[in-house]
Structure 1
Amino acid sequence: VVFLPCKTTGIGALNRYYGIFQNGEMKLRGIELRKHDTPPFVNEAQRMILNELSHANNAKEFTSRLPQAIGILKAMTQRLQEGKVPLQDLVLTKAVSRQLDEYSVMTNSVAALKQMEKRGYRVEPGEYIRFVITDGRSRNSERKVKVAEFIRGDEKPDFAEYLKLLCRSGQTMFLPFGYTEEKLLKLIRKGNYPSKYVKSTSIPISKEHRPRETVGYVMQRR
């Protein structure tokens, strides 16, 4: 079992860990794969990492598999950069906590809410908004994201934003071994990180990690 550090204290937390039982069953808690708002693309990366590490029989073998596991992030980055990730696998799902006019910062979620309002739909607190990040640095709500239900199919995802999400999920898995989000970004950008996965140009996203079209989401036209 790998206990992950608490985000505030840096000490191993009992409610954030991943591991595998002797019967092969995985035990996960507090990682992106367990969260409902994570894009399927990121979930699949963590699933593949866990699968790679699960073949280790002891601590030494576990450590020896880290380069291949980290290489999965490089392989997924390659797919993203080559435009081989379907937009539906990049959809984020976020809970709405307040009315649109109560937000003061143009976050991705606020941009999505503005798009909904512009098209005559109301999303109430407690409901969910689903979107793809298209230009995370933009202050224009129409350019910043694209609400999932309004996707045409020709949108280009913001590569830098999804790379950060990918490396952040990698940090969750590898921080106990000294790999921060920044370190993983540097390794991936070097472009020469060894992994058997980098050679693969087709890594399908499991159906179980694709977003459902209607779960927890309500569209109500004004």
Structure 2
Amino acid sequence: MLVACFGYQGFSNAKFGRIECHEAINAFAREILLTAKQRLEAGGWRVVHGIVDSIWVTPYPSVDDDDREDLETLATEITKRVEIRLEHEAHYDWVAFVPQRESDAGALTKYFGKVAGDDDFKIRGIEARQRSTPPFIEDVQRDCLDRLNATRSPDAVLGRLERAIDELQAGNVAVERLVERNRVSKPLEGYTQNTQNVAALKRAREQELAVHPGQDIEYVVVDDEKSSRDRVALAHEEIETYDASYYETQLVRAVESVLSPLGWDRSDISRELSGERAPF
């Protein structure tokens, strides 16, 4: 309940919002998180990341396994103390927190990790979890995660990116794998910028298709240099081409999310693809 109403209580235009309630939720959350952190550290675990609904820990190297307390036991004890259930969800072979764009600190809600004993990854915030991401971009990003897990090598990831770019530039990607799906937030007249969504809405209106706020609109970017409705083609249309440069940029961004925890940014990736990147 606290997580669900937290932002609303601090919203200045909320009908039933109250800033004191927003601040009180912050205070409770801080105390609960600190209590959990202190108990976990006392039990031999180092907290590496925490947010409103989860906390990530790793063993302290200086604590012997025999002296480290069991996580299930600690979770039960913390649950009784703070009166909010804490569960040991899973163990991970590794986890990477994607840095914020404006700093080297990890973003609170963007990470990916390999679940121990499982073929799956836990993914939050990056392109493969975003509903607007085209299937082709998602598939390439997931392939890059597989290669990073198998090799621990940026070169393997970049190799997959190069093959995907070659496929794009050769025109060999099926247009249905490049469809973007975005939620319409307001009527066409409510937009002030010529975004891709606006171009798609204009195209839909031209075809007498009603798309209301809250509904999705699906399209392929065919010429991102334009600002008119010709910038995109709706998914149901016969589409003969796509803007390879635009989708190449999306691919590089998706691979940046995978490699940025290793210290790579978009410029590093671009220089490596062009053969100009200086060795570390």
- Structure-2-length-normalised TM-score: 0.61
Match of 2:234 in 1: 147
Question: What is aligned with 2:146?
Answer: 51
> Where does residue 187 of structure 2 map in the other structure?
99
The CA distance in 1 between the partners of 2:188 and 2:135, in whole Å, is: 27
Counterpart residue type for residue 44 of structure 1? D
**Alpha-carbon distance change, 190 to 84 in structure 1, aligned in 2, over 3 angstroms:** farther
Query: 2:157 pairs with 69, 75, 96, which one?
Result: 69
- Letter of the 1:102 counterpart: G
Amino acid at match of 1:40: P
Does the 8 A contact of 2:224 with 2:243 survive in 1?
yes
Q: Which residue of structure 2 lines up, in the alignment, with residue 84 of structure 1? A: 172
- 1:4-19 matches, within 5 Å, as 4-19=98-113
Give 1:200's aligned residue. Answer: none
What is the rounded CA distance, in whole Å, between the counterparts of 2:192 and 2:113 in structure 1? Answer: 41
SS at match of 1:55: helix
Instruction: Name the CA distance, whole Å, in 1 between partners of 2:174 and 2:242.
Output: 10
- Count of paired positions: 182
Question: 1:77 is paired with a residue of what secondary structure?
Answer: helix
Q: What is the DSSP-based 3-state SS (H/G/I as helix, E as strand, rest coil) of the residue aligned with 2:98? A: strand
**Inter-CA distance 190–145: structure 2 relative to 1 (3 Å threshold):** farther
* Aligned mates of 1:125, 1:172 — CA distance in 2: 30
Match of 2:243 among 158, 168, 173: 158
Q: Offset of 1:105 from its aligned partner?
A: 1.4
Secondary structure at the aligned position of 1:139 is classed as coil
Query: Following the alignment from structure 2 to structure 1, what is the Cα–Cα distance between the partners of residues 227 and 274?
Result: 27
- Rounded to whole Å, the distance in 2 between the matches of 1:186 and 1:160 is 16
Alignment of 1:114-193 (within 5 A): 114-142=202-230, 144-150=231-237, 152-154=238-240, 156-190=241-275
Q: Separation in 1 of the partners of 2:222 and 2:275?
A: 24
Question: Residue 14 of structure 1: CA displacement?
Answer: 3.8
Deviation at 1:53, TM superposition (A): 1.7
Letter in 2 for 1:147: L
Given that 2:233 and 2:239 are in contact with CA atoms closer than 8 Å, whether structure 1 keeps it comes out as no
1:99-131 Cα distance to aligned partner (Å, 9 max, x none): 001112111110000000011111111111111
Structure 1 segments (4+ residues) deviating >6 Å: none
**Aligned: 1:112 with 2:200:** yes
Instruction: Confirm whether residue 34 of structure 1 aligns to residue 122 of structure 2.
Output: no
- Identity percentage over the alignment? 30
What is the DSSP-based 3-state SS (H/G/I as helix, E as strand, rest coil) of the residue aligned with 1:83?
A: coil
Measure the CA separation in 1 of the matches of 2:164 and 2:198.
28
The residue that corresponds to 2:76 in the other structure is none
**Larger Rg belongs to:** 2
3-state SS in 2 of match to 1:15: strand
Task: Please give the residue correspondences for 1:192-207 in structure 2 after superposition, counting only pairs within 5 Å.
Answer: none
State the alpha-carbon separation in 2 of the partners of residues 180 and 43 from structure 1: 19
Please tell me the residue identity of whatever aligns with 1:99.
P
Output the CA distance in 2 between the equivalents of 1:122 and 1:55: 47
Alignment gaps of 5+ in structure 2: 1-94
- In the other structure, the counterpart of 2:16 is none
Unaligned runs of 5+ in 1: 57-61, 192-222
Q: Kindly state the Cα deviation for residue 171 of structure 1 after the two structures are TM-superposed.
A: 1.1
TM-score (normalised: structure 1): 0.77
CA RMSD in angstroms, aligned pairs only: 1.8
One-letter amino acid of the counterpart of residue 205, structure 2: E
Could you say which structure has the greater relative contact order, defined with CA pairs below 8 angstroms and 6 or more residues apart? 1
Question: Is the CA contact (8 Å cut-off) linking 2:111 and 2:123 kept in structure 1?
Answer: yes
CA drift at 1:72: 0.8
**How far apart are residue 9 of structure 1 and its match?**
4.2
Task: Classify 1:115/1:189 alpha carbon distance in 2 versus 1 (closer, same or farther; 3 Å).
Answer: farther
Deviation at 1:33, TM superposition (A): 0.7
Cα distance in structure 1, aligned partners of 2:243 and 2:235: 15
